[in-house]
Structure 1
Amino acid sequence: MGWMWRQRRVPGETEIFVAWQEGTGDRTLLAIHGGPDWDHSYLRDPLDRLDCRLLLPDLRGCGRSGRAPEYHPDGVVEDLVRVLDAFDVERADVLGHSYGGMVAQRFAITHPERVRSLIVSGSSVLPVPPDAFDGWAERDEIMADQEDPWQREDLTPEQCVRADAFEAVEANVRRAARIPGYLKRLGQVRFGAEWVRRLQTAGLVSPRLPDAARRLADLDVPVLLLHGRQDMTFPVSLVEPTLGLIPRARAVILENAGHMLHVDDPDGYLRAVREFLCGTALDGGLELGSARPV
């Protein structure tokens, strides 16, 4: 059974909403959601079964956080620094999923003194090449069947973001038995459109920093690449070459899981996160134990 979720608002030019659990011990996991026009809530389960303190903020302009004067990944990183400061956390274990995985890497590279370890979940360190999914007929069929809500003139941007998330369910969740629960989870997400509005009017800067793999390797921070074998957004093929570039990186591939790997295989996901955090508990050492590597 998970801990009770609490809420806190971190003041500043942009107020950041944080859902958090106290946990035990002195370890804190900062979990960064994707989208970015989603909120943190789709990541709560199964992370709420961890024993460490959990901090799950809504990124600026997302969920219950305030709107911002600008939407740049550097502003997001500074928001995350404020979150850690507000909770008196000197160094955190940092997990990022999807878009949040790239934000997490940027955070580690620009503020290494605040990061104990890094988990890149359902995301990638290396850029996704345009031919990454060539020859995957199942993916082509699923993508072809999706309707594009952005072609509809009767929907607001917020409604388009929401509709797009529901259209992508089959692409994001591999196990059919998990889809009803995932649909319920999506129904609770506070979708926004601040980021997509900025994308449409002025463009957005990618959170992915140039040469991120080398820069992470230079930090000598333990890294876990946690991925679903059937991920149709970030290809699993990028995991192995990343391992060759970051000596302290390890990987766990969940075989029957897609982009929402924590939904498809919550037990395998939680086991990988727990064993990674336990393995980094002593002097920054890293032993994955029974977690399954590539």
Structure 2
Amino acid sequence: MPTITTRDGVALHYEEAGSGTPILFVHEFGGDWRSWEPQMRYFTRRYRCITYSARGYLPSQVPERVDAYSQVNAVNDMIDVLNGLNIDRAHIVGLSMGGFATLHFGLHHPDRARSLVVAGAGYGAEKAFEAYFRDVSLAVADQFENKGAPAFAPTYATAASRIVFQVKDPRGWQEFATQLGEHSSIGSAMTMRGVQARRPSIYDLEDELKRMTVPTLIVVGDEDDHCLQPGIFLKKTVPASGLLVLPKTGHTLNIEEPALFNQFVSDFLATVEQDKWGARDPRSAPTEIMKTS
């Protein structure tokens, strides 16, 4: 089983396939390295693709101390995976928790990112729901710890933003729910407490995001309510960004609508490779409606 050891001694399981420009896939809280299988199969035709399980997610190591889990450690782990594979720069593709990590990667290590795909990043970001999100994250952590992942997974998998996935693709949703139930109960609880409940809101990062020049594609589903406004905020804030909204789609974007996700991400990567994905033309002023002279 291939592993990379992080700077603080945590063994991370990874998988890679293909050749060419590297893409690093970073999974959401409810996923693991397997969550990117539709992308691994598609993008390995042209790229060197790497997926891994974050710390706390089997078969990676599961530290049992909450201080081993943080937004900083999540980004450091991404760097350690790239360094362990002798990769200087990569396209970074992240969903939800992985999308937040991808944003922070772009902020702190722009020289290591060829581009960023930030999908489904918004939970806990809205200032009106910030306190609620932290409280419910801690409650979810308690449920994982007390009931265990196999028992609590069916509840977590039926959160509002995942219902559309269950309705349109019951088999795909069931695979997601089954894999969620196979997660480490302790790892899930510690990740909720150390990463999810403590990460800063993206609205608090506005000044830094305005200075980030990495080409960025923001992706949200139109039925992923708590990601829509943060997605628009990111589009208005990150200079070289574009916003993709997938219709009748919830939170689990890449496995809920794999064909659309792959198509648009593929076009984005190709545009970046041609150096055609730049910042918004300053003549396109967002405050202007029509010209009079």
Match of 2:62 in 1: 67
Q: State the TM-score, normalized to the length of structure 2.
A: 0.77
Is 1:171 aligned to 2:171, yes or no? no
The RMSD of aligned alpha carbons is 3.2
Among residues 209, 212, 217, which one is paired with 1:224 in the alignment?
A: 217
Distance in 1 (alpha carbons) for counterparts of 2:274 and 2:247:
29
Match of 2:263 in 1: 271
Structure number having the greater helix percentage = 2
Q: Classify 1:151/1:163 alpha carbon distance in 2 versus 1 (closer, same or farther; 3 Å).
A: farther
What amino acid does structure 2 have at the position aligned with 1:196?
A
Is 1:33 aligned to 2:27, yes or no? yes
Match of 1:55 in 2: 50
Alpha-carbon deviations, 1:193-232, whole Å to 9, x = none? Answer: 3242475699952165664343233131111011111114
What amino acid does structure 2 have at the position aligned with 1:162?
A
Distance in 1 (alpha carbons) for counterparts of 2:110 and 2:144:
45
Q: Classify 1:201/1:87 alpha carbon distance in 2 versus 1 (closer, same or farther; 3 Å).
A: closer
Match of 2:135 in 1: none
Match of 2:136 in 1: none
What amino acid does structure 2 have at the position aligned with 1:214?
D
Query: Which stretch of structure 1 is more off in the superposition, 237-246 or 204-213?
Result: 204-213
Give 1:273 shift.
Answer: 0.5
Is 1:88 aligned to 2:83, yes or no? no
What amino acid does structure 2 have at the position aligned with 1:16?
L
Among residues 149, 159, 183, which one is paired with 1:191 in the alignment?
A: 183
Gaps of 5+ in 2: 131-138, 279-293
Match of 1:8 in 2: 2
Contact 2:28 2:99 in 1 (8 A): yes
Gaps of 5+ in 1: 1-6, 133-147, 288-294
Among residues 223, 231, 234, which one is paired with 1:242 in the alignment?
A: 234
Equivalences, count: 260
Distance in 2 (alpha carbons) for counterparts of 1:28 and 1:227:
24
Q: Classify 1:30/1:156 alpha carbon distance in 2 versus 1 (closer, same or farther; 3 Å).
A: same
Alpha-carbon deviations, 1:157-190, whole Å to 9, x = none? Answer: 333552333333x631425231222202332343
Q: Secondary structure at the match of 1:124?
A: coil
Match of 2:198 in 1: 205
Q: Secondary structure at the match of 1:174?
A: helix
Q: Classify 1:265/1:164 alpha carbon distance in 2 versus 1 (closer, same or farther; 3 Å).
A: same
Distance in 1 (alpha carbons) for counterparts of 2:195 and 2:19:
44
Match of 1:115 in 2: 113
Distance in 2 (alpha carbons) for counterparts of 1:163 and 1:43:
21
Give 1:44 shift.
Answer: 1.9
Alpha-carbon deviations, 1:71-121, whole Å to 9, x = none? Answer: 122122212111101111101111110111111111121111111111111
Match of 1:182 in 2: 173
Query: Which stretch of structure 1 is more off in the superposition, 257-266 or 244-253?
Result: 257-266
Distance in 2 (alpha carbons) for counterparts of 1:167 and 1:220:
37
Contact 1:10 1:18 in 2 (8 A): yes
Contact 2:55 2:61 in 1 (8 A): yes
Q: Classify 1:157/1:223 alpha carbon distance in 2 versus 1 (closer, same or farther; 3 Å).
A: same
Distance in 2 (alpha carbons) for counterparts of 1:61 and 1:106:
20
Q: Classify 1:213/1:31 alpha carbon distance in 2 versus 1 (closer, same or farther; 3 Å).
A: farther
Contact 2:121 2:231 in 1 (8 A): no
Contact 1:217 1:248 in 2 (8 A): no
Give 1:252 shift.
Answer: 1.1
Q: Secondary structure at the match of 2:128?
A: coil
Q: State the TM-score, normalized to the length of structure 1.
A: 0.77
Distance in 1 (alpha carbons) for counterparts of 2:195 and 2:259:
41
Q: Classify 1:231/1:101 alpha carbon distance in 2 versus 1 (closer, same or farther; 3 Å).
A: same
Q: Secondary structure at the match of 2:224?
A: coil
